[in-house]
Structure 1
């Protein structure tokens, strides 16, 4: 199969739930990053075969999201597009789907897009078309409902992902202090990256209209420079009323966020002909499934498969980007891998706990970050992996070009 390279991975800033980016829809964010991708890379939009878009909380305001975003961003009507959902792995899956199409010759140039506005996740009902029940229509919050139903009827999760995280805490014997310490490290690394300008190359400023005029958002909102162990220790466990032993808090969990990210997926020859500069090449990738109640450690088998296909081991990696859904989940994976929580290769610039976790955008956000980390660290090989609610995980190995 043909070799695949990734060009110009970019992302918007990551906004907090209800924060500065909340007035914008996922489509608005997606269009903004697509327009910036074209402007910065010099990509000829007439050469793009398709836009594959990832979104975890869609609505019918943008059906076949990749197609709609492409049209709104000024791509020609010949550009096809669709959307996919593999929950937390959606963004990376968009890149992998694009890679498979390019590898097999189905397409030559594809843009992978991930976008999420968790601030605008829909409230919905399935009852309205059958008449109004006596008690009225039940509106489900898509954010909460998706976490409760993701395991289907055979693997119910009434306490959502937090309940799964607490099960890992019990299974692995991971303390609250260890979780809070890791969360603090994540914030410290992300804030240090912000202050040094390390994120600048991957960031696309976004203009947000408001009643008092436009506001330019050019900085991640989620990292907390004022975070301390003492402040984290004061937060109440989310399931504390149900289980006195619970330890998972808002402070040692990933955020609910708004953002978009995109990249160009093509072959080295096509990149050269279009004047594009590859950042990384795809070496291998894998997907794995496990018991949905222990989904947080699914990156372990996924990573094993991806590394095996690449013919390398964990010790060969220069950067390990493991999305931080929960501190306890990261620590459980590290325990299985035998890697120390302070390993400098692990999330050098923070991850989900500090930067945030806009579900559909996270996978490409991580790719944009690692693509800039590799040259900054004079490094060669990077792993990107994440757990996925419902008992899945993705892992991919990239090499600096």
Structure 2
């Protein structure tokens, strides 16, 4: 049965920090600080008074050591009232996007008129775990565990790294090394050529050492350089550091408002959120979970690839993107027009927020004004969000 799309919720502000390299320009800032910077900028853009925003939801994966309720820290750091509500959401790589959807649902339900939502992550500051320290080792050596690997990049069931899931995709869908490297090269080319467009969504970040005003990941690479890299996750594999997304830091935020409030106050939406779609596959097939998301969207709303001008799918690995493009028959011009995570980077809890910030700007001059954001996420789920430029 085909359902109508839900009541639209407006995005009236959308900003993000640059995506910082691992140990790079943003490494000195906590994830919550990055979130506050993005939230402040989005709120300023929206023109809404701080006291009018009563809800904050932020996604974050690597929360260990960040203090109680990171979303609350983001909210107060952005200047919101102490009476406002905040909570933090963890849906692995889909955290930022699902936080935005959850905030939109709260607005639809009449609980709030305005909300700020998005994603945050500082992979540079993720701690190591010493699980035996509390009660003592007793005898022998004690090892540390990398919290980023345990909670962000390793399948909880098979204990395999996400890179091994990428090798499975390459083998199962017969994706050649050359196709992966070519995709990676194009991602960097698109990102570099889109610097001017990306400036609209990025807020400058000032640290004690420097000012960062653009993503640190995109580089002027070549197919020869990419081909020279060795496989990382399997001795005879094809997944390399060059055709994979990187480890990064960043914050992204949008300000949401109800349709009624927009009309009453004469606000100007950047675009509208229409609905969310989720899907699921076997955990080891996680990178292909967006296929299940598109299938469910077709069954639920009657919408398919051809209905969208822009489709943003988070680029965890190039082999995944080549496989998804083939399986879903996505036109190359539709998919990640400004480049994706292979070039920009993948601060896991932030990435869904980054995509959601970018889509409103990309839809401004599109033909049909429809956009779709999707991400795979550890455990085998996938999540997506439908965007519409105008309700006219």
TM-score band, normalised by shorter chain: over 0.9
| Among 309, 313, 331, the residue aligned to 1:318 | 309
Deviation per CA, 1:209-235, whole angstroms, max 9, x where unpaired?
13xxxx2110110011x2111110001
2:229 aligned residue:
235
1:301 aligns to 2:292 (yes or no): yes
2:3 aligned residue:
none
Matches within 5 A, 1:229-378: 229-241=223-235, 244=236, 246-274=237-265, 276-339=267-330, 343-378=332-367
2:198 aligned residue:
199
Provide closer, same or farther for how the CA distance between residues 6 and 39 of structure 1 changes in structure 2, counting only shifts above 3 A.
Answer: closer
Partner-residue secondary structure (3-state), 1:398:
strand
2:130 aligned residue:
125
Provide closer, same or farther for how the CA distance between residues 274 and 137 of structure 1 changes in structure 2, counting only shifts above 3 A.
Answer: farther
1:167 aligned residue:
168
CA distance in 2, matches of 1:188, 1:79: 42
Provide closer, same or farther for how the CA distance between residues 322 and 121 of structure 1 changes in structure 2, counting only shifts above 3 A.
Answer: same
CA distance in 1, matches of 2:310, 2:356: 11
1:176 aligned residue:
177
Maintained 8 Å contact 1:157/1:163: no
CA distance in 2, matches of 1:49, 1:369: 24
**Structure 1 residue 193, shift from structure 2 partner:** 0.2
**Structure 1 residue 30, shift from structure 2 partner:** 1.0
> Which deviates more from structure 2 when the two are superposed, residues 371-380 or residues 215-224?
371-380
**Structure 1 residue 54, shift from structure 2 partner:** 0.7
**Structure 1 residue 315, shift from structure 2 partner:** 1.2
CA distance in 2, matches of 1:274, 1:10: 22
1:384 aligns to 2:373 (yes or no): yes
Deviation per CA, 1:44-81, whole angstroms, max 9, x where unpaired?
11111211011111134331111121112221110110
CA distance in 2, matches of 1:15, 1:275: 36
TM-score (norm 2): 0.94
CA distance in 1, matches of 2:194, 2:48: 28
Maintained 8 Å contact 1:54/1:114: yes
**Structure 1 residue 33, shift from structure 2 partner:** 1.2
Provide closer, same or farther for how the CA distance between residues 3 and 315 of structure 1 changes in structure 2, counting only shifts above 3 A.
Answer: closer
CA distance in 2, matches of 1:46, 1:135: 56
**Structure 1 residue 379, shift from structure 2 partner:** 4.4
CA distance in 1, matches of 2:225, 2:154: 33
Deviation per CA, 1:1-26, whole angstroms, max 9, x where unpaired?
64312221110001110111111110
Partner-residue secondary structure (3-state), 2:270:
strand
CA distance in 2, matches of 1:274, 1:131: 60
Maintained 8 Å contact 2:312/2:372: yes
2:58 aligned residue:
53
1:27 aligns to 2:32 (yes or no): yes
Deviation per CA, 1:306-336, whole angstroms, max 9, x where unpaired?
2443332211211111111001111111221
Maintained 8 Å contact 2:13/2:256: no
Partner-residue secondary structure (3-state), 1:128:
coil
Provide closer, same or farther for how the CA distance between residues 239 and 2 of structure 1 changes in structure 2, counting only shifts above 3 A.
Answer: closer
> Which deviates more from structure 2 when the two are superposed, residues 347-356 or residues 374-383?
374-383
- Specify every segment of 5 or more residues in structure 1 that has no aligned partner in the other structure, as ranges: none
| Among 42, 45, 52, the residue aligned to 1:37 | 42
**Structure 1 residue 149, shift from structure 2 partner:** 4.9
**Structure 1 residue 135, shift from structure 2 partner:** 2.9
